[in-house]
Amino acid sequence: MVEISGLTWALTIAFVLALLAVDLVLAAVRPHRVGFREATAWSVFYIAVAVGFGVWFTLAYGGGPGTEYFAGYVVEKSLSVDNLFVFVIIMTTFTVPEEHQHKVLTFGIVLALIMRAIFIALGATLLSLFSFMFLLFGLLLIYTAVQLFRHRDEDPDIEDNAMVKAARRLLPVTPDYVGGRLTTRVEGRRMVTPLFIVLIAIGSIDLLFALDSIPAVFGVTEEPYIVFTANAFALLGLRALFFLVKGLLDRLVYLSAGLAFILAFIGVKLILHWAHVDIDPRVPEIPTPLSLGVIVVVLVVVTVASLVKTRHDPTAKAHPGSLRATGSRHHENEPQA
């Protein structure tokens, strides 16, 4: 385990919060449509920050921990692209005006960071106390991979979300966005706006993604600090990445299948680690550099194959996949609405 001082933790958290504060201020003070040039600049900035942190971390703590960080970052970044699919579906379902999408995404990232911080602390505690948790995490990832592959051509049903349905049933909702407010008063009655419901939808989706992504990144490192920073820097760039690639997401037709393979691979890695520690030290383990190589190769192959597929078949459309049947399956040869 890497010895991370309390000061290093504090400075890292303060740095992440400062970046979040910049996003929140920009979203709240200057709501606007984010163009391609602005999205590109922010995407490059956040990737540069993540890589710069990784270089510093490698120089400060060694090549092993540095490789674990970059592997964790790549895993979280690849899984976050699937988040983007769902964000697009949420924005479309609730017809969120473009000038408010920046704000929705920033609040969604804040919620995701909070929930993932909780899961990281819980996961690290469980792994330190019970080594069989590696087995449970591995089985969870393999189950998720199987379900995601089975329903790779489906979209999650946002309106069927239990929290969204409860909010609609219990809370009075205004018909429009009222300038991007979360609540407003109409004829003396306090009401929530559709933006409030959108944040509930994104928060509940973030919770589901955290259940998968945290075990996945623990599959490449057991160090909570690396898990936190890999998640934080991957999520911080998610807002800009959304505006940069949302027009290209429909072309990544094999992404869900690729992510299913990555999750299954990391699940096997966790199970082998558990068997190596608890059953027999002769059981082989998958080294982190090999894991990083496999993940990068899978993502490159999936991206290239997807672009080739959509170039030859413009009707092919990507879907984020679902963990259960939703009835929204689209066959490749069917015309899209």
Question: What string of DSSP letters covers 242-262?
Answer: HHHHTTTGGG-TTHHHHHHHH
pTM of the model: 0.75
Q: What number is the average pLDDT over the span 251-262?
A: 86
What is the distance between the alpha carbons of residues 111 and 231, in angstroms, rounded to a whole number? 13
Is residue 181 classed as helix, strand or coil in its secondary structure? coil
- Predicted confidence band of residue 65 (pLDDT cuts 50, 70, 90): very high
**CA separation (Å) from 180 to 52, 60, 112, 239?**
35, 44, 21, 17
The per-residue pLDDT for 320 is 67
What is the distance between the alpha carbons of residues 12 and 250, in angstroms, rounded to a whole number? 35
CA-nearest of 149, 145, 78, 142 to 271 is 142
The per-residue pLDDT for 67 is 92
Q: What number is the average pLDDT over the span 299-327?
A: 80
CB 2 within 8 A of CB 226: yes
Tokens coding 192: 């929530």
Kindly tell me the burial class for residue 25, based on how many C-beta atoms sit within 10 Å of its own C-beta (0-12, 13-18, 19 or more). Answer: exposed
66: in domain: yes
As for how many domains the chain has, the answer is 1
Tokens coding 10: 């504090």
Is the per-residue pLDDT at 160 higher than 80?
no
Is the per-residue pLDDT at 336 higher than 50?
no
Top-confidence residue, 62 or 110: 62
- Which helix (H) or strand (E) segment holds residue 51: the answer is helix 36-61
Top-confidence residue, 159 or 297: 297
Tokens coding 17: 């919060």
Is the per-residue pLDDT at 121 higher than 90?
no
Kindly tell me the burial class for residue 92, based on how many C-beta atoms sit within 10 Å of its own C-beta (0-12, 13-18, 19 or more). Answer: exposed
- Predicted confidence band of residue 245 (pLDDT cuts 50, 70, 90): confident
The per-residue pLDDT for 77 is 84
The per-residue pLDDT for 127 is 80
The per-residue pLDDT for 335 is 41
Tokens coding 302: 């999936």
- Which helix (H) or strand (E) segment holds residue 117: the answer is helix 98-129
60: in domain: yes
Is the per-residue pLDDT at 291 higher than 70?
yes
The per-residue pLDDT for 207 is 74
- Predicted confidence band of residue 28 (pLDDT cuts 50, 70, 90): low
- Digit-coded pLDDT (tens) for 188-213: 888 888 888 888 888 777 777 777 77
- Predicted confidence band of residue 327 (pLDDT cuts 50, 70, 90): low
1: in domain: no
Backbone angles phi, psi at 4, to 5 degrees: -110, 125
What is the helix, strand, coil percentage profile of the chain, to 5? 70, 5, 25
CA-nearest of 26, 56, 29 to 41 is 26
Share of residues in the chain with pLDDT > 90 (%): 15
CB 87 within 8 A of CB 242: yes
CA-nearest of 184, 245, 203 to 104 is 203
Q: Write the CB contacts of 133 (distance below 8 Å, at least 6 apart in sequence).
A: 123, 126, 127
- Digit-coded pLDDT (tens) for 69-83: 999 998 888 877 777
216: in domain: yes
CB 174 within 8 A of CB 77: no
- Predicted confidence band of residue 66 (pLDDT cuts 50, 70, 90): very high
Token look-up 């919770």 returns: 207
- Predicted confidence band of residue 333 (pLDDT cuts 50, 70, 90): very low
Q: How far is CA 303 from the centre of its chain?
A: 18
CA-nearest of 113, 117, 140, 137 to 206 is 113
- Predicted confidence band of residue 14 (pLDDT cuts 50, 70, 90): very high
Number of helical H runs and strand E runs in the chain = 11, 2
The per-residue pLDDT for 183 is 85
336: in domain: no
Average model confidence (pLDDT) for the chain?
Answer: 81
- Predicted confidence band of residue 334 (pLDDT cuts 50, 70, 90): very low
116: in domain: yes
CB 259 within 8 A of CB 151: no
The per-residue pLDDT for 100 is 79
Can you point out the beta strands (E) in the chain? 183-186, 189-192
Give me the domain span that covers residue 247: 6-312
328: in domain: no
CB 263 within 8 A of CB 216: yes
327: in domain: no
What is the distance between the alpha carbons of residues 43 and 245, in angstroms, rounded to a whole number? 10
